[in-house]
Chains A and B, each alone.
Chain A
Amino acid sequence: MTLQTIDNATCTFCGCVCDDIQLHHDQMRIHKAKSACVLGTAWFLNHTAERHYPDALIDGREATVDEAVEMAAALLHEADMPLVYGMSNTTCEAQKECVALADQLGGLLDSHTSL
């Protein structure tokens, strides 16, 4: 089996955000993360492209993403004081959407920093 490699990949496990990792993968899972530390290696090797979880859950039951998006929008729109929180393990592009969502809702916006 030949593995594909990605040079200078970026690790987002801790705040160091090392961008010199060489990843060896077979499109389903990462087999080797060269230069990564023990935490980064665990981070890369423990995520796979397999479908481990349902696409979405509503009240604990499996649902489609479309249904879950509609339900989320309805719940957030109904609320008087909705909260948008977290944003650590995600991209800046998603974070920008979160700010726009909180603005649209007239809600609260906060990150891990304030814990």
Chain B
Amino acid sequence: MGGKVTCTLGEVKNRADFIVYWGGNPAECHPRHFTKYTLMQKSRWLPRGRKDRTMVLVDIRETKSAKAADIFLQVRPGCDFELLSILRAMVRDEPVDPDAVAETGIAYDVLEDLVRRMKSCRFGCMFFGMGLSMTRGKHMNSAALLTLAAELNAFTKFVAMPMRGHGNVTGADVIMRWQTGYPFGITFNRGYPRYNPGEFSTVDVLVRGDCDAAFIIGADPGATMPQPAIDHLARIPTIVLDPHVTHTSRLARVHITTAPAGIAAPGTAYRMDEIPLPLKPALKSPYPTDEEIVRRIREAVATRPFWMPEDSPQMTTEQL
């Protein structure tokens, strides 16, 4: 996420007078986002709350979130990258091809109005969801949106933030960045971390059949991944840690039931704006925590011979 221009949700709540949601449906997926942060809150700089804010929704279909929007732009599926590139050109007053604009499904004068609003707001924020980052173009779409946000800072204050899904997926990014220097798609097979999404990212690894064992925690790829990836998980020894017996547990060699985080297990979780928050579990689980089980497995692995020969020239860290 190097180069991301962003802020906390507290700043959005107090200052953002122009909000864009791109490829997300907060009304149904993040139901309190509008009321707590982006639309309804009043502040010193936005004393009239909703009336002081403008909200734009960009999506391929009219979701429930469109009802809350002032402007809804229905982009043709798969044209997000093109639309973002056109907006980047228009922000700089560069000419754009009318055919390319027509291809996105949105009229030129609508885009002209959007660009004028973007440049003239006091504090703009673009939130982007999986409708942008997981469709044609994938991470290049996210990069285009983050670049647009960065470039708008030549005119006004503008930031961007991903709308993260499942609970602590932000925490996973943060912890991996802290421990390895990279956010995901990492290998330690040379004894030090290397990063290459596409080569080391899970779907690709599983579909190609690269890995020969899998340890799955806090996820259910057996329910969400493409079938060839699931087939490979069933072929290799898979170990699952989860509060429930999941689809993945059913095709795994080993399943261990653990306490659900935040309900019966204590710890820390990151909000989507990378603010760490302590968990306050209400219940006492009969099962151990994820933390305890992963530590015990790591300790059990550590009693066995280390995988890399001791005289290997690649050995870079002192091993216990």
**B307 contacts which chain A residues (CB < 8 A)?**
77, 105-106
User: Which of the four size classes fits the interface of chain A?
Assistant: 35 or more
- State whether the Cβ of A79 lies closer than 8 Å to any Cβ in chain B: yes
State which residues 19-55 of A face B: CB under 8 Å.
19, 23, 25, 27-30, 37-39, 43-44, 47-55
Whether A85 contacts B214 by the Cβ 8 Å rule is yes
**B216 contacts which chain A residues (CB < 8 A)?**
85-86
- Report the interface size for chain B: residues with CB under 8 A from the other chain: 107
Binary flags per residue of B306-317, CB closer than 8 Å to A gives 1, else 0: 011000000000
Do A88 and B166 contact each other (CB < 8 Å), given the known contacts A16-B271, A56-B254, A107-B189?
A: yes
**A73 contacts which chain B residues (CB < 8 A)?**
297, 300-301, 304
Whether A87 contacts B219 by the Cβ 8 Å rule is yes
Cross-interface CB contact of A110 among B30, B185, B297, cutoff 8 Å: B185
**B287 contacts which chain A residues (CB < 8 A)?**
51, 55
Give the interface segment out of B72-80, B94-102, B243-251: B243-251
- State whether the Cβ of B58 lies closer than 8 Å to any Cβ in chain A: no
- State whether the Cβ of B176 lies closer than 8 Å to any Cβ in chain A: yes
> Chain A interface secondary structure, helix, strand, loop or mixed?
mixed
**B211 contacts which chain A residues (CB < 8 A)?**
79, 81-83, 107-108
- State whether the Cβ of A113 lies closer than 8 Å to any Cβ in chain B: yes
Do A25 and B283 contact each other (CB < 8 Å), given the known contacts A83-B213, A91-B261, A115-B202?
A: yes
**A106 contacts which chain B residues (CB < 8 A)?**
188-189, 191, 307-308
Do A95 and B175 contact each other (CB < 8 Å), given the known contacts A87-B218, A88-B169?
A: yes
Whether B200 contacts A110 by the Cβ 8 Å rule is yes
- State whether the Cβ of B298 lies closer than 8 Å to any Cβ in chain A: yes
Cross-interface CB contact of A92 among B168, B217, B219, cutoff 8 Å: B168
Residues of A within 8 A of B (CB): 4, 6, 8-19, 23, 25, 27-30, 37-39, 43-44, 47-59, 65, 68-73, 75-115
* 25 residue pairs bridging A and B, Cβ less than 8 Å apart: A9-B262, A12-B168, A15-B163, A15-B164, A17-B269, A49-B286, A80-B212, A82-B211, A82-B212, A82-B214, A83-B214, A86-B217, A89-B166, A92-B174, A93-B291, A94-B290, A94-B291, A95-B172, A101-B215, A103-B188, A107-B188, A112-B219, A113-B172, A114-B197, A115-B134
Residues of B within 8 A of A (CB): 29-33, 36, 134, 163-176, 179-180, 183-189, 191, 193, 197, 200-203, 205-206, 210-219, 221, 224-225, 236-237, 239, 241, 243-245, 249, 252-257, 260-272, 275-280, 282-291, 293-298, 300-302, 304, 307-308
